[in-house]
Amino acid sequence: MTDTLTPVLTANWADDRSWTLPSYAARGGYAALDKALGMAPDEVITAVKDAGLRGRGGAGFPTGMKWSFIPQDNPNPKYLVVNADESEPGTCKDIPLMMASPHTLVEGVIISSYAIRAKVAFIYVRGEVLHVIRRLQAAVAEAYAAGHLGQNIHGSGYDLDLVVHAGAGAYICGEETALLDSLEGRRGQPRLRPPFPAVEGLYASPTVINNAESIASVPSIIANGPGWFAGMGTEKSNGFGIFSLSGHVTRPGQYEAPLGITLRQLLDLAGGVREAPNGQARELKFWTPGGSSTPLFTAEHLDVPLDFESVGAAGSMLGTRALQIFDETVCVVRAVLRWTEFYKHESCGKCTPCREGTWWLVQVLARLEAGQGSAEDLDLLLDQCDNILGRSFCALGDGATSPITSSIKYFRDEYLAHLEQGGCPFDPAKSTLFEEVPA
Amino acid sequence: MTAEMEKSDLVSLTIDGVEVSVPAGTLVIRAAEQAGIQIPRFCDHPLLAPVGACRQCLVDVPDAGNGRGFPKPQASCTIPVAEGMVVSTVNETAAKAQTGIMEFLLINHPLDCPVCDKGGECPLQNQAMSNGRGESRFAATGGVKRTFPKPIHLSPNVLLDRERCIVCQRCTRFSDEIAGDPFIALVERGAQQQIGIAENAPFLSYFSGNTIQICPVGALTSEEYRFRARPFDLVSTPGVTEHDASGAAIRVDHRRGKVVRRLAGDDPEVNEEWITDKDRFGFAYLYADDRITYPRIREDGELRPASWLEAFEVAARGLARCSGGAGGVGVLPGGRLTLEDARAYAAFARESLGTEDVDFRSRPLSAEEAAFLERHVKGTGPGDQGAVTYADLETAPVVVLAGLEPEDEAGTVFLRLRKSVRAGGTRVIALSPFTTRGLAKLSATVVPTAPGDEADALSSLLGHADHGIDHRAVILVGERLATAPGAYAAAADLAAKSGARLAWVPRRAGDRGAVEAGLLPAAGGRDADAIVGAVLSGELAGLVVGGVDPDDTSDPAAFHAALEAAEFVVSLELRETDVTRVADVVLPVAPITDRAGTFVNWEGRERPFPQTFRNPASFTDARILAGIGEELERIVAEPASAAHEEDVAAARLRRMVLAAQRHGTAAGFVTGAGAPSSTSEGAHVAGGVHAATTDTDSDGRGASTSERIETTATFKLATWKLLLDNGVMQQGDKALAATARPPVAILSPASFARLGAMVTVTGDRGSVTVPAGSAVDLPDDVVWLPANSTGRGLLADVASPGSRVEVTNA
């Protein structure tokens, strides 16, 4: 178990004009592609399997196994779709990655497409991040010009076209089947499974959908070997990942480390929880291990190893390693209400529990925040969450319940304090990052 | 052995302790139905693809068949059965899940059941009672419902109340999957998600009413039924549509002796659960102001009320006069009769009047058609008679359409064809002048066929191996083939050579029953056109006319003239028409609601229906004909008066001269140079499509007219009636009429470019000016117009189908 940072994906971020092809090539970029093209596609899949790479989009499904599900005897074209629709509150790893080093992703796309024998690949990028879309488009153009994309790549006889597609501003399109519908030009709503995308995905053809960070990790696995990758991380959560620290932390940012690192270690690297304007230390109050859809943790979880199994065992999910740090100035009811408003706004409307449930949750939480209602409302909230969790069509509804149930679990008294005081006991200005500015 | 094989295909599972065996792939919700277990549901519909959106049908699956259960409740409408599966629809987990979803569904649903049309027959209301909470926790915690302005029109006759909508997507899925008219779609998201239409794109579909019926809440209502009645005040009677030959089952809902709405009946073998908007909304004609409710006789030139007995006697005496030595009586019963009435007409014509001059066809017809019907249609039916059925349309790999535009002329057939095409089972080959919207929705292979060329086109099909017409194929021919010489024979020939099965799909509900009842002229008899000609030439003196609109016939002018020329006309009608206005005796027939009867649909399937209203004053055609028949028997027994017969002959001669004069001047022929100089010749020219049974078909096609026009006219007229048009039985419902497709003349792109957006089509009977459109595969020398969407219809106003017309820029 290592406790140092392992910059791989982030290694070149500080380079001069790191997003350009010359800069990327200067560090040996696209060498892994040559190596991969010298292997049989199935060998590439085996390498990724052996490396133990698990999906970096949150669910942690083994990437190589997903690739091997593609029925190669299916006469339809195969597609690789990269999910770069990063929209989860707190999650900010793919967008900085594509901003700083889009070629890492592009090279990963080419190797991965080669492995699954796709002739066309798509990167579905969140539409709001225009600057990132431009960088990606420029990188794809550079790659075409350099012969990394297009016909007969590196003289191997392998052809690949890569399309950068901008989303239209819906969180639900990060759900892989909704993403496919959106990519096909339809209304983005989750599809019924089965059929699974591996069999009938984009345009009813076999499709692999992977998170951007997963695909970006592939070139390093090919370049350095599966053993190198598997040597990092924990027993079942191999390799490294980008940990995004945000919120009340002294030096927020991306910290690339092996899976299994703890928040305590990361906080040390990031300078700890932010201080008050008067220099007084502040305490960690709660945090999310993987974005707002993962149940909250508190200071008691500082030493939970941040890998899939340990975080799961501690009652949450590793998710996207979006570590949002909230200190003692934050009202948990307020924070949870804001998240819930997000889910209400982003619920696609397809299924009843998510569509109607989030609408109602917001109303109950808003009343609680205003100090109205009663203690029974907490049981009502929990019952509503119970009626949503596992009943909704996709995971969006499940995610909406996580902050509520976990916050009531750890901070029931704080909810009750709102009722006792007839309002929020916190000064919302203090929780802001501009708290010293007079009102 | 068969039983064993079947058994191996079955999957056994346990639902609420009941063991069920169902075919593999069956959804749990369907399997539960077979065990008599009702799982609450909204989005689920057996005829629509599963979507799993409403989540109301959640059940607990403690064992998925592999010894392990699902940790969370599962939507039974999307999960297939598995061997050994254990399902509970009522245990604590399932009940809590169902109650929880119901609570969510209700939070934004208005509590307006007391004023909602659906209240009383509402799945949401019912299931809220069975699976909901007694008290609203949402209201108790001060919840604020989402509101919308309401209602909005999705189309002229479908309205949407977005507050009531639970976005189960049944309506959008029906429109997309079944009808192929995806004009409504989900818009917005979250709780604001709603059914919407594109800007300036109303929900125009011939099948839109089905969405109202399958809406599980009161979100969709019809303009016609909104706020008219409460479901629990309605009495429902099953019925069969009187609008087309589909035999579609309907349900007639009525209150205080008045029909307030009609719904699709559930008949899996015929219409499944769908009907056309015409079947659903087209009943306002029953209550038209011009409904005839008592017998009338003509006295001193004016119609006056009469008793039934008096009317029977006057009718009988008039017909007896005409059928004596002074001529004869022609019988034109029309195509809207029940089988029982058709038989009564046949008996009346042959036995009471002793004539073979009887023909139900009130449209362009041919002798060839009569022969075809006798030989290939009459006496066939489903089952051991081996006729083509709806189910056969689903299993046939190829269906050939000739002279038939299913979406317009047989909507239920269209839906079944589309179902099969979508399932990948059937390829449709259509002989049509162009790829219509309906044919496009069937992904049909269109063989562009100019009117009149159908015979050649049918004959050429076998030469194309790629069409794959063999013994499994089905050929559907429409009544319009009567205007294409040789086409019926070519269809029969194609069937004989390929082994394909053949079916005739007429337009009217009574057409097929009339064939079965023998309402076609036997040897020596005249067909409908010849009857008209014979009246004009003085060979026939009397007419008995059923539900015939003169403007539907081969030659409306000639028909009108014949009505004038006839010495004595008996009209059996529902409403005032051009026939009743000149008839000597007008006898009101019972509307469809006042009688029981049987329609025979295109399959040859008998579709009996019960009486909706018991109305002693309503007489069926059969009852009326029996009344006249009895009087006729009595009169025949009376001693004849020679002096009286002489009077009759003189009067007839006088009327013939008068009629001939009127006919020549007032009938309004465009080709003035060709105005008939004598009545008989005029009848022949105006006969247009077909003149007399003795002529062979190709020779008799109004040759003189065509040749004369050909020098200037360059377009062949293709036409059929749209589903919604100016037909008399669609009158009275403005909202329905507003959903009809506007009349457009379809030209080839080249002609369209040359002639512009507004054209005048001129034939030998007049002209019509309509907007033009184009279709890429329409032959350059063809123009298509809807048959009855302008003025009095093309037959009266423009020309006969298939004849030459001039098209000019308007």
Q: How far apart are the C-alpha atoms of B778 and B415, rounded to whole Å?
A: 25
The confidence score (pLDDT) of residue A277 equals: 87
Q: How far apart are the C-alpha atoms of B545 and B543, rounded to whole Å?
A: 6
Instruction: Give yes or no: residues B549 and B474 share one domain.
Output: no
Question: Which residues of chain B does A377 touch, with a Cβ-Cβ cutoff of 8 Å?
Answer: 141
Contact between chains at A344 and B191 (C-beta distance less than 8 A): yes
Percent of chain A residues topping a pLDDT of 70 = 98
- B446 occurs within a structural domain: yes
- Determine the average pLDDT of the residues in B423-427: 93
Contact between chains at A353 and B104 (C-beta distance less than 8 A): yes
- Determine the average pLDDT of the residues in B342-353: 96
The confidence score (pLDDT) of residue B656 equals: 55
Instruction: Give yes or no: residues B643 and B754 share one domain.
Output: no
How confident is residue B586, by pLDDT bands cut at 50, 70 and 90?
A: very high
The confidence score (pLDDT) of residue B672 equals: 34
Res A234 pLDDT > 90: yes
Contact between chains at A187 and B186 (C-beta distance less than 8 A): yes
Question: Which residues of chain A does B58 touch, with a Cβ-Cβ cutoff of 8 Å?
Answer: 391
For B485-536, how does the pLDDT look when each residue is reduced to its tens digit (9 = 90+)? 999 999 999 999 999 999 999 999 999 999 999 999 998 899 999 999 999 9
- Determine the average pLDDT of the residues in A218-238: 96
Q: Which domain holds residue B457?
A: 367-506
The confidence score (pLDDT) of residue B678 equals: 36
Q: How far apart are the C-alpha atoms of B245 and B252, rounded to whole Å?
A: 18
What's domain A332-430's architecture? Up-down Bundle (1.20)
Q: How far A293 CA lies from chain B's nearest CA (Å)?
A: 17
The verdict on A345 touching B (C-beta cutoff 8 Å) is yes
Q: How far A102 CA lies from chain B's nearest CA (Å)?
A: 32
Least-confidence region, from A296-310, B153-167, B316-330, B533-547: B316-330
Q: How far B187 CA lies from chain A's nearest CA (Å)?
A: 8
Question: Which residues of chain A does B103 touch, with a Cβ-Cβ cutoff of 8 Å?
Answer: 387
- Determine the average pLDDT of the residues in B405-434: 97
For B623-662, how does the pLDDT look when each residue is reduced to its tens digit (9 = 90+)? 999 999 999 999 888 766 554 555 555 555 555 555 555 4
Minimal Cβ distance to B191: which of A353, A356, A390: A356
Instruction: Give yes or no: residues B235 and B309 share one domain.
Output: no
What is the rounded average pLDDT for all residues in chain A? 96
Q: Can you tell me the ipTM of this complex? A: 0.95
The confidence score (pLDDT) of residue B580 equals: 97
Res B705 pLDDT > 80: no
The confidence score (pLDDT) of residue B713 equals: 62
Instruction: Give yes or no: residues B493 and B524 share one domain.
Output: no
DSSP result, B233-302: G-EEEEEE-SSSTT--EEEEEEETTEEEEEEE--BTTTTBT---HHHHHTTGGGG-TTB--S-EEEETTE
- B698 occurs within a structural domain: no
Contact between chains at B141 and A364 (C-beta distance less than 8 A): yes
Q: Are A324 and A295 in contact (CB under 8 A)?
A: no
**Total tally of structural domains belonging to chain B:** 5
Which positions 93-132 of B are in contact with A (Cβ < 8 Å)? 96-97, 100-101, 103-105, 107-108
Q: How far B578 CA lies from chain A's nearest CA (Å)?
A: 54
How confident is residue B697, by pLDDT bands cut at 50, 70 and 90?
A: very low
Q: Which residue of B has its CA nearest to A350?
A: B53
The confidence score (pLDDT) of residue A2 equals: 46
User: Which of B260, B285, B310 is the C-terminal boundary of a domain?
Assistant: B285
The confidence score (pLDDT) of residue B706 equals: 40
Least-confidence region, from B289-303, B600-614, B636-650: B636-650
- B119 occurs within a structural domain: no
Res A388 pLDDT > 70: yes
Contact between chains at A351 and B138 (C-beta distance less than 8 A): no
Question: Which residues of chain B does A357 touch, with a Cβ-Cβ cutoff of 8 Å?
Answer: 104
Residues 6+ apart with CB under 8 A from A329: A248, A282, A426, A427, A430, A431, A435
- Determine the average pLDDT of the residues in A207-232: 97
Q: Which amino acid is at B50?
A: P
The confidence score (pLDDT) of residue B684 equals: 37
Instruction: Give yes or no: residues B726 and B650 share one domain.
Output: no
How much is the pTM? 0.92
For chain B, the first-to-last Cα distance in angstroms comes to 73
- Determine the average pLDDT of the residues in B308-312: 97
Res B664 pLDDT > 60: no
For B63-81, how does the pLDDT look when each residue is reduced to its tens digit (9 = 90+)? 999 999 999 999 999 999 9
Res A19 pLDDT > 80: yes
> Do strands B10-15 and B18-23 pair parallel, antiparallel, or not at all (unpaired)?
antiparallel
Q: How far apart are the C-alpha atoms of A179 and A185, rounded to whole Å?
A: 10
CB atoms within 10 A of CB B37: 20
For A36-65, how does the pLDDT look when each residue is reduced to its tens digit (9 = 90+)? 999 999 999 999 999 999 999 999 999 999
Q: Which residue of A has its CA nearest to B70?
A: A390
Which positions 132-171 of B are in contact with A (Cβ < 8 Å)? 137-138, 141-144, 146, 166-167
Q: How far A261 CA lies from chain B's nearest CA (Å)?
A: 31
- B690 occurs within a structural domain: no
CB atoms within 10 A of CB B517: 24
The verdict on B639 touching A (C-beta cutoff 8 Å) is no
How confident is residue B7, by pLDDT bands cut at 50, 70 and 90?
A: low
Res B252 pLDDT > 90: yes
* Among the listed residues B571, B604, B568, the one whose alpha carbon sits nearest the alpha carbon of residue B588: B571
Identical fold for domains A21-230 and A332-430, yes or no, is: no
SS3 B360: coil
Instruction: Give yes or no: residues B153 and B274 share one domain.
Output: yes
Contact between chains at A386 and B167 (C-beta distance less than 8 A): no
The confidence score (pLDDT) of residue B646 equals: 54
CATH code of residue B200: 3.30.70.20
> Do strands A297-298 and A322-327 pair parallel, antiparallel, or not at all (unpaired)?
unpaired
Instruction: Give yes or no: residues B199 and B220 share one domain.
Output: yes
Instruction: Give yes or no: residues B39 and B99 share one domain.
Output: yes
- Greatest C-alpha distance within chain A: 73
The confidence score (pLDDT) of residue B386 equals: 83
Question: Which residues of chain B does A353 touch, with a Cβ-Cβ cutoff of 8 Å?
Answer: 55, 100-101, 104
Instruction: Give yes or no: residues B374 and B357 share one domain.
Output: no
Contact between chains at B189 and A348 (C-beta distance less than 8 A): yes
Contact between chains at B53 and A357 (C-beta distance less than 8 A): no
Question: Which residues of chain A does B189 touch, with a Cβ-Cβ cutoff of 8 Å?
Answer: 170, 172, 346-349
CATH code of residue B322: 3.40.50.740
Contact between chains at B141 and A172 (C-beta distance less than 8 A): no
The confidence score (pLDDT) of residue B199 equals: 73
The confidence score (pLDDT) of residue B647 equals: 54
Instruction: Give yes or no: residues B770 and B784 share one domain.
Output: yes
Res B330 pLDDT > 80: yes
Percent of chain B residues topping a pLDDT of 70 = 89
Q: How far B170 CA lies from chain A's nearest CA (Å)?
A: 12
Does the domain at residues A240-327 carry the CATH identifier 3.10.20.600? Answer: yes
The confidence score (pLDDT) of residue B707 equals: 41
The confidence score (pLDDT) of residue B641 equals: 57
Res B689 pLDDT > 80: no
- B703 occurs within a structural domain: no
Least-confidence region, from A18-27, A219-228, A387-396, B666-675: B666-675
* Among the listed residues B728, B330, B240, B801, the one whose alpha carbon sits nearest the alpha carbon of residue B512: B240
Contact between chains at B107 and A359 (C-beta distance less than 8 A): yes
Q: How far apart are the C-alpha atoms of A370 and A310, rounded to whole Å?
A: 36
For A187-214, how does the pLDDT look when each residue is reduced to its tens digit (9 = 90+)? 999 999 999 999 999 999 999 999 999 9
Which positions 131-170 of A are in contact with B (Cβ < 8 Å)? 170
Instruction: Give yes or no: residues B396 and B470 share one domain.
Output: yes
Q: Are B544 and B354 in contact (CB under 8 A)?
A: no
Domain ranges of chain A: 21-230, 240-327, 332-430
- Determine the average pLDDT of the residues in B554-579: 97
What is the rounded average pLDDT for all residues in chain B? 90
Instruction: Give yes or no: residues B355 and B459 share one domain.
Output: no
Q: How far apart are the C-alpha atoms of A106 and A212, rounded to whole Å?
A: 10
The confidence score (pLDDT) of residue B702 equals: 38
Residues 6+ apart with CB under 8 A from B273: B47, B210, B213, B214, B264, B265, B266
Contact between chains at A391 and B192 (C-beta distance less than 8 A): no
How confident is residue A386, by pLDDT bands cut at 50, 70 and 90?
A: very high
- B241 occurs within a structural domain: yes
CATH code of residue B95: 3.10.20.740
For B39-55, how does the pLDDT look when each residue is reduced to its tens digit (9 = 90+)? 999 999 999 999 999 99
CATH superfamily membership of A21-230 = NADH-ubiquinone oxidoreductase 51kDa subunit (3.40.50.11540)
